[in-house]
Amino acid sequence: MTEVQDKEAHDETQKVGRGALYLTMTKLWFMVSGYVIVFGLPRILGEGEAGKSLYGKYGVVNGLSAIINALVVQGTTQAVSRFVGRDPSQGDGVRRAAYRLQAMLGGGLFAIMFTTAPWVAGSLYGDPALATPIRCAAFILLFYAFYSIYLGYLNGSSLFKKQALVDFSYSTLKVAGVLGGAYLLKESLGGVGGAFAGFAAAALCVLLLGRFMAGPAKGPGETRVKTLFAFQTFTMAFTGVATAVTRGDLQVLKLALQGTPGVDVAAGEYTAAQQFSTIPYQMVFAITLVLFPLVSAHAGRDHDRIRLYIRQTTRYASMIAMAIVCLFVACPERTLTILYRQEYATAAAPLRFLCFGYLFYSILFIICSIFTAAGKPAKSLGLVGSVLVLEVLLAWFFVKEYGQVGVAAATALAMFLGLVAGHVLMLKDFGQGLQLSKMARIFASGLVVGGLAHALLARATLWGATGVLSSVGGTGMLSKLITVGGFSVLGIFYLVLLSLTGVLDAEDKARFRKVLRR
């Protein structure tokens, strides 16, 4: 390497690293703020089975909304980011084309969702009371359709700091909207309807903020709507199906058990399990936001650089995901009762299965992002589409016999098979797959840490005893503090194990120092 190339590589590493740091911090706040909603909303909706039932209804509508929003938000964000990232000077032209596209796409989906809400609620879900929440969620879709343009523009322009500020504001406004709406509008719209009305108000506010951060689209350049849509059709399909994988299991539970006594209570418990099990996926998602424009820039030109990105990002994703999964699987009851009332501890069994599933899916999502950014979105779509089909078929088969646990197990199995397929495809297309030796060391480190957590904190161990510290503090605040503190200490020990086993090496430490320098 020449001195100029060394400097360029150093600058890119620092820029990418700081971008990842900004977005990871906002993703952490997104998660923290989301768990403020997890803590507050069930308490606003009420206690006992009645409260669980309302929370289950909220989870079902939120899942449906997330799947439809993904068609617009993530698809548009990635499409705009890719076209702006290829040539930032044409960024305003890309935005103008995206405005026209979203007027048709986002506006059309809004009209369909709003007008069909009574039919979806009554005929599909067998629950007419869901019509109002679904109609409120339609406004979220409309506002996010245009907000996603600004998010993609900031990401493609590598304005990660501004993007992080918008993301931070979104998370904060959502907390205020959902909890405030559920509390203030409980009498007029119901707790669930009020939560989605407040969410819609927050979406409108963040749309206006995104417009302010991006500024007016008055620059040169012209992009055809058809060109943008041609790429977006793949990314829309991919992100829609990928989100359906994460939300479809709860939809299967509600649809397959329609009319069964206790289905909404079961949905409430399953929603609680989802909230914790998806943490690895949410953490890893920040990596893809920075990875996407980088792979796009090197697609078709620098395969060595892409192979480097594959090795680094899949390894980091595995380390992050395993740090969380090993603790949650070891102590699921304690995990759930950090934020939920003790009555939600019954979701421990599905939580265990879902945690393993999202460990696999977090890594698979990185793989799919690499394929999409490299101009091969059809392969990404094939991977997540296969997972979705397997998940729905297996879940529908097991739900009648095993309920929540059957759905969770089906989801985990489908995600694992998808990861195996993704590894094989990466080897074929890029000559680089998962680093299995390092993956084995990551899993071994997680097994050791999980075993310690289980022996110390578990309410009931596999060998029929209780954890050493399980009775300290009962089920009150002291118990929650012990859980969080214990998890934190064991997390540090996990990092030590990764360093001792060579998963984290001197090059990684030097890279982290570069990111944090200045």
**Residue 243 near residue 391, CB atoms below 8 Å:** no
Write the CB contacts of 440 (distance below 8 Å, at least 6 apart in sequence): none
Give me the DSSP letters along 365-385: HHHHHHHHHTT-HHHHHHHHH
Give the integer Cα–Cα distance in Å for 245 and 275.
15
Q: Does the pLDDT of residue 425 top 70, yes or no?
A: yes
Taking 60 as the threshold, does the pLDDT of residue 170 lie above it?
yes
Residue that is written with structure tokens 């911090």 in the block: 25
Q: Say how far apart CA 328 and CA 344 lie, in whole Å.
A: 15
Average pLDDT score over residue span 214-236: 75
What is the average pLDDT across 91-101? 83
pLDDT one-digit tens code per residue, 152-164: 888 777 777 788 8
End-to-end CA distance of the chain: 25
Pick from 13-22, 200-209, 288-297, 300-309: least confident: 288-297
Among 51-60, 132-141, 220-229, 402-411, the range scoring the smallest mean pLDDT is: 220-229
Q: 48 pLDDT exceeds 60?
A: yes
CA dist 133 and 120 (Å) reads 11
Query: Which residues 6+ apart lie within 8 Å of 79 measured at CB?
Result: 98, 152, 228, 231, 232, 235
Tokens of 11: 């600058």
Residue 9 has pLDDT above 70, yes or no: no
* Per-residue pLDDT at 100: 87
Lowest model confidence (mean pLDDT) among 17-21, 434-438, 485-489:
17-21
Residue 186 φ/ψ, nearest 5 degrees: -60, -40
In Å, what is the CA distance from 129 to each residue of 57, 61, 135, 188, 352?
9, 11, 11, 13, 32
- Give the per-residue pLDDT at 330: 94
Residue 7: what pLDDT? 47
What's the predicted TM-score (pTM) here? Answer: 0.85
Which tokens in the block code for residue 505? 């090496």
Identify the pLDDT of residue 361: 95
Residues 492 and 258: their CA atoms lie apart, in Å, by 45
Average pLDDT, the chain: 85
377-430 and 303-330 helices, crossing angle to 10°? 110
Give the pLDDT of residue 249.
Answer: 95
Least confident of 293-307, 342-356, 382-396, 438-452: 293-307
Contacts of residue 242, defined as CB under 8 A and 6 or more positions apart, other chains included, come to 70, 74, 365, 368, 384
pLDDT of 57 over the 50 cut = yes
Length of the chain: 518
**pLDDT value of residue 5:** 46
Q: Which pLDDT score is estimated for 508?
A: 66
d(CA 135, CA 491): 42
Name residue 195's amino acid. A
Determine the pLDDT at residue 323: 93
Q: What is the pLDDT of residues 452-489, one digit of tens each?
A: 999 999 888 888 888 888 888 777 888 889 999 999 99
CA 496 centroid distance within chain:
27
Higher-confidence residue: 476 or 490?
Answer: 490
Q: Residue range 220-229: average pLDDT?
A: 75
Q: How many CA atoms lie within 13 A of 359 on its CB side?
A: 24
Asked whether residue 11 carries a pLDDT value surpassing 70, the answer given is no
The band of 449, judged by pLDDT with boundaries at 50, 70 and 90, is: very high
Q: Of the given ranges (73-77, 243-247, 379-383), which has the lowest mean pLDDT?
A: 73-77
Residues 6+ apart with CB under 8 A from 1: 9
Concatenating the DSSP letter of every residue in 207-244 gives: HHHHHHHH----SS----HHHHHHHHHHHHHHHHHHHH
Check residue 121 and give its pLDDT. 94
Which pLDDT score is estimated for 10?
46
The residue with greater pLDDT, 411 or 473, is 411
143 neighbors 203 (Cβ within 8 angstroms):
yes
Query: Region 287-316: what's the mean pLDDT?
Result: 66
Q: Would you say the C-alpha torsion 316, 321, 326, 327 has a positive or negative sign? A: positive
> How far apart, in Å, are the Cα atoms of 149 and each of 163, 343, 490?
12, 42, 41
Alpha-carbon distance of 178 to 452, in angstroms, equals 38
For position 17, what pLDDT does the model report? 57
**pLDDT tens track for 127-160:** 999 999 999 999 999 999 999 888 888 877 777 7
Question: E strands within 282-347?
Answer: none
Q: What is the pLDDT of residue 337?
A: 92
Cα 68 from Cα 106, distance rounded (Å): 10
Ramachandran quadrant class, 434 (left: phi over 0; alpha: psi -120 to 50; beta: rest): beta
